[in-house]
A and B are shown apart, each in its own frame.
Chain A
């Protein structure tokens, strides 16, 4: 079954404690990206990757890091989380840039920073 898997799904953490949200896809997709969803703001892109070792900033990259060492994995790293990073996070993947209908989303990760 085609899947984008995020972990953890729910997390409460404290300010400043480094955390990583993992994202893995089993479809051999080149493109992967991270979004955060906040009330009244829709989904905003944090980072995206067009292939292994190729990453670029989206609209709201501050406070986040990513890496793409393997094609299937695209972890989101919060080096020093702050309360304004409390949000719902989505990972997504796509086969190639022109296939607008094959964007697969993970189920979301609820992150609370206190």
Chain B
């Protein structure tokens, strides 16, 4: 079974600053996806960024980027130029792909507060 660990239950950052959220995972799989989801107070689940394990290049989406270290099983999210709208819970998630399985495993989340 896969496990996903987010070691920072809560974090805060000043507006316009940069913050990094940590995520580590444990798996024996070689082919998988990793995701960061944002959950604002509305509780909607919003995909922020995804990374395919077979790609060495780190994924980037505008102000959001990841540092994917496959050997270390680490998948951190960097938010640049933080905005008030980034205030939310952030979940790291793991999905293996292959026959007979469709399991998405989430970490416990990091609550991010962006301070004006």
Q: Is the CB of A108 within 8 A of B43?
A: yes
Q: Is the CB of A100 within 8 A of B106?
A: no
User: Nearest-CB distance from B42 to chain A (Å)?
Assistant: 8
Q: Is the CB of A100 within 8 A of B33?
A: yes
Q: Is the CB of A43 within 8 A of B97?
A: no
User: How long is the Cα–Cα vector from A88 to B89 in the complex, in angstroms?
Assistant: 15
Interface size counted on chain B using CB atoms at 8 A: 27
User: Nearest-CB distance from B108 to chain A (Å)?
Assistant: 4
Q: Is the CB of A97 within 8 A of B97?
A: yes
Q: Is the CB of A33 within 8 A of B104?
A: yes
Q: Is the CB of A100 within 8 A of B102?
A: no
For chain A, give the interface size range.
20 to 34
Residues of B within 8 Å of A33, CB to CB, are 102, 104
Residues of A within 8 Å of B103, CB to CB, are 45, 48, 58-59
Residues of B within 8 Å of A105, CB to CB, are 44-45
User: How long is the Cα–Cα vector from A88 to B103 in the complex, in angstroms?
Assistant: 19
Determine if A101 is an interface residue (Cβ-Cβ < 8 Å). Answer: yes
Residues of B within 8 Å of A107, CB to CB, are 43-44
Q: Is the CB of A97 within 8 A of B101?
A: yes
Residues of B within 8 Å of A98, CB to CB, are 97
Interface residues of A in 24-76 (CB under 8 A from B): 31, 33, 35, 40-45, 48, 50, 58-59
- Considering the complex, give the chain A residue whose CB is closest to the CB of B108: A42
Q: Is the CB of B102 within 8 A of A50?
A: yes
Determine if B105 is an interface residue (Cβ-Cβ < 8 Å). Answer: yes
Residues of B within 8 Å of A100, CB to CB, are 33, 35, 50, 52, 95, 97
Q: What are 8 pairs between A and B in contact, CB < 8 Å?
A: A31-B102, A42-B4, A42-B106, A45-B104, A94-B102, A101-B50, A103-B104, A107-B44
